[in-house]
Structure 1
Amino acid sequence: MEELPVKSVIVVPVQFEGRDYAQKRTMLIVGTTPTGEYICNNFTSDKRYKDNEKFQANVYIPKTHENGLKFNSYIKCDTQYIVPKDYAGISQLSIHITDDQFNTVLQRTSQVKDIIVEHVGNTKQNEMKQYTDKILETLDKFKMDPQLMKDFVAFSSKFYSYSLRNKMLIYMQNPFATFVASYTGWQQLGYNVLKGSSSLRIFRPIENVTFLRNGESIKISEATNEEKIKIGKGELKTYTQISYIKYNVFDISQTTCPKEDYPKLYSMGYASLEHKELYDVTKDFIETSGFTVEEKNLPTISLNGYCNTQENSIVINSKLNDTERLNTLLHEYAHGLLHKTSTQPTAVKEFEAESLSMMLHHRLGLEIDDNSKLYVCNSYQSIDKDLFAIGESFERLSKAFKFIEKGISDSAKSKGFDISNSRELSLGAKKEKQSNIAHGQSDKQPNIINRNFIQDL
């Protein structure tokens, strides 16, 4: 947004301590600081401020057709707000204050002996910058120590739905965290946070969608039915602004949740007897996504399997046991998918493919062998760090992981058991599924070509 002149009326989302949301305030720009921030006075429609014996500093501004106010308002002159010009969420309103009213605001503000000055955004932005600096510092450590990168790759599989920034924040505060929720979130799940527990600080995005009505920014929720129809048809443009608020979460280990309930909330791996079922549902998903999977009697037991990206085929050594077959299938699919679709340099492609394989193994509770860990470290060391955007790399990994994790979970549900949270088989649903198959009913979708997978994401 371009720099606004004095007398402009703006809306500013203000974050107050103790609240997990931003409250919009209408403000009048009355000047600028030597360092370039806006100096603002706040509007209020609260009728209590009409009592000028108690609130002598306030200036009454009645609503008129000319000034565009919706309510009779008062401009408070005992408090001023310092707002950075680049503060996220600022929007200008088509409200006009006369010169006399503006001068009265300036005069009464100058007469206040102990004026309150609130800095909007600075505390929050400084805190955000401090966290960002810590994240960058940790990423630099990753570049120097591939072992740390390997540990973070495994950690990421537990928080794949979180942004890289929040993953990093959780990791820096508790590298052993497994499942987090807010204080009220744990209560809704039926558990309490243990007294004296220190929260993990992350940032939650808040999306504000508005449109313009006669030059004024209006929330979607306040749109008329006619305006909603125009928005739905694309005839009325909307504007989306993302701001971030502090958000406190607690790890499951900080709650009254007993260990026997842990599997209800997050995956803790699967018994070896279940690996055959996991192999079957994973194979089903992979075939649905466009690869063929074939089990062959390969000439050597040292070759567990391979992936031919030209033919979209994966071959698994039939001599392997269930756990080894599942390990190999996940490994070959991760490499096959990213090698076929990634546009990154070979070193980055190898690192991401092996990292994705490790994340999938960790998600399903499979043991990660030393060779895989070593390969991740070695492939990371071979990357040109000056050209490597680690944030973008983890965004690609996160998207690919979500795609595969969801595919395997959906495939499992279609076969009658749920791997999204619990390890328990739903035998009734499994029998129903088998009954449907026996009657010729199948919900298997047509094959999907993965050629533009990463680009489409």
Structure 2
Amino acid sequence: MSEERGNLLLIFAQCPEASHVAGYRTWQKLNRQVRKGERGIRIFGGRDVRETVENEQTGEEEEQRRVRFFPVSVFDMGQTDLIDEEAGDPADIARQLTGDDPAGIFDAVADYLTGKGWTVEREQIAGGANAYTTIDGAQRVVIDADLSPAGSQDRPSRGRPRHPSRRGRSRRVRRAPRDQGNRG
């Protein structure tokens, strides 16, 4: 099991409602402070370690790089408070676009990805996902055919699509439950 999947399971087991997690200092850099007394979510962090070892065949010293894993604590955004309201909230950094796309952002992004060897397609996606990337090495981005060019007001996303350059890793984008009183 990959470190990322293992950590997702650890997060879910300890805090099923977690949506955005980061370390203590990372939250401070993002203008949020972990509240006193909050208990961290324990996951495994990895760090490259360089070691000098003797090659048994040649007797020469060689540098080896290894990844060492160790337990670290992360905190969900729900365990933090905004430090400086005027500096802004990191939760507002990314929002799903809605309406038309007069600036041609979708086409520009699709052209960029296509130039990098990806295919960008629109098709019906069952469930609540707005888009996803494939994990089979096909370098494919699929966007829900029901979305308007810049997004859709009635399909707000709580998650964010995984960047396509992270090959071999995929996550479906979740959306918040529909508010029956506001269908956009």
Quickly name the TM-score band, shorter chain normalised: 0.5 to 0.7
Paired AA for residue 208 in structure 1: V
Offset of residue 239 of structure 1: 2.4
Offset of residue 168 of structure 1: 1.7
Q: Say yes or no: does 1:173 pair with 2:14.
A: yes
* SS of equivalent to 1:280: helix
Distance 1:182 1:194 in 2: 13
Q: Say yes or no: does 1:195 pair with 2:48.
A: no
Cα–Cα, structure 1 residues 287 and 305, in superposed 2: closer, same or farther, change >3 Å?
same
CA contact (8 A) 2:54 2:61 kept: no
Cα–Cα, structure 1 residues 246 and 238, in superposed 2: closer, same or farther, change >3 Å?
same
Q: How many residues align?
A: 141
Match of 1:271 among 98, 107, 110: 98
Match of 1:283 among 89, 110, 117: 110
Distance 1:284 1:241 in 2: 37
Distance 1:256 1:200 in 2: 17
Match of 1:238 among 63, 78, 98: 63
* SS of equivalent to 1:165: helix
Cα–Cα, structure 1 residues 280 and 184, in superposed 2: closer, same or farther, change >3 Å?
same
* SS of equivalent to 1:238: strand
Cα–Cα, structure 1 residues 274 and 193, in superposed 2: closer, same or farther, change >3 Å?
farther
Offset of residue 210 of structure 1: 1.2
* Paired residues for 1:144-155 under 5 Å: none
Distance 1:202 1:277 in 2: 40
CA deviation digits over 1:167-199, x for unaligned, max 9? 221222223323222122222333311123221
* SS of equivalent to 2:9: helix
Offset of residue 305 of structure 1: 6.0
Offset of residue 201 of structure 1: 0.9
Offset of residue 273 of structure 1: 4.2
CA deviation digits over 1:184-233, x for unaligned, max 9? 22223333111232211111113321113699xxxxxxxxxxxxxxxxxx
- As a proportion of its length, which structure holds more helix? 1
Greater RCO (Cα-Cα under 8 Å, separation 6 or more): 2
Offset of residue 250 of structure 1: 0.9
Distance 1:290 1:214 in 2: 40
RMSD: 4.4
CA deviation digits over 1:56-104, x for unaligned, max 9? xxxxxxxxxxxxxxxxxxxxxxxxxxxxxxxxxxxxxxxxxxxxxxxxx
* SS of equivalent to 1:256: strand
Match of 2:167 among 399, 412, 426: 399
CA deviation digits over 1:267-293, x for unaligned, max 9? 342233459644223321233134687
Q: Say yes or no: does 1:252 pair with 2:77.
A: yes
CA contact (8 A) 1:181 1:250 kept: yes
Offset of residue 248 of structure 1: 0.6
Cα–Cα, structure 1 residues 291 and 211, in superposed 2: closer, same or farther, change >3 Å?
closer
Distance 2:118 2:22 in 1: 37
Distance 1:292 1:244 in 2: 35
CA deviation digits over 1:288-333, x for unaligned, max 9? 1346879xxxxxxxxx769xxxxxxxxxxxxxxxxxxxx6xx57xx
Aligned residues with identical type, % of pairs? 24
CA contact (8 A) 1:268 1:365 kept: no
In the other structure, the counterpart of 2:177 is: none
Distance 1:191 1:268 in 2: 19
**Higher Rg of the two aligned structures:** 1
In the other structure, the counterpart of 2:160 is: none
Paired AA for residue 34 in structure 2: V
- As a proportion of its length, which structure holds more strand? 2
Q: Which runs of 5+ in 1 are unaligned?
A: 1-131, 133-161, 216-234, 295-303, 307-326, 343-352, 369-397, 403-457
In the other structure, the counterpart of 2:178 is: none
Cα–Cα, structure 1 residues 278 and 254, in superposed 2: closer, same or farther, change >3 Å?
farther
* SS of equivalent to 2:78: helix
CA contact (8 A) 2:120 2:142 kept: no
TM-score, normalisation: structure 2? 0.54
Distance 1:281 1:186 in 2: 32
CA contact (8 A) 2:99 2:151 kept: no
Match of 1:210 among 39, 51, 62: 51
Distance 2:8 2:39 in 1: 18
Paired AA for residue 399 in structure 1: R
Q: Which runs of 5+ in 2 are unaligned?
A: 125-129, 157-165, 171-184
TM-score, normalisation: structure 1? 0.25
Distance 1:247 1:237 in 2: 30
Cα–Cα, structure 1 residues 401 and 276, in superposed 2: closer, same or farther, change >3 Å?
farther
* Paired residues for 1:60-209 under 5 Å: 163-209=4-50
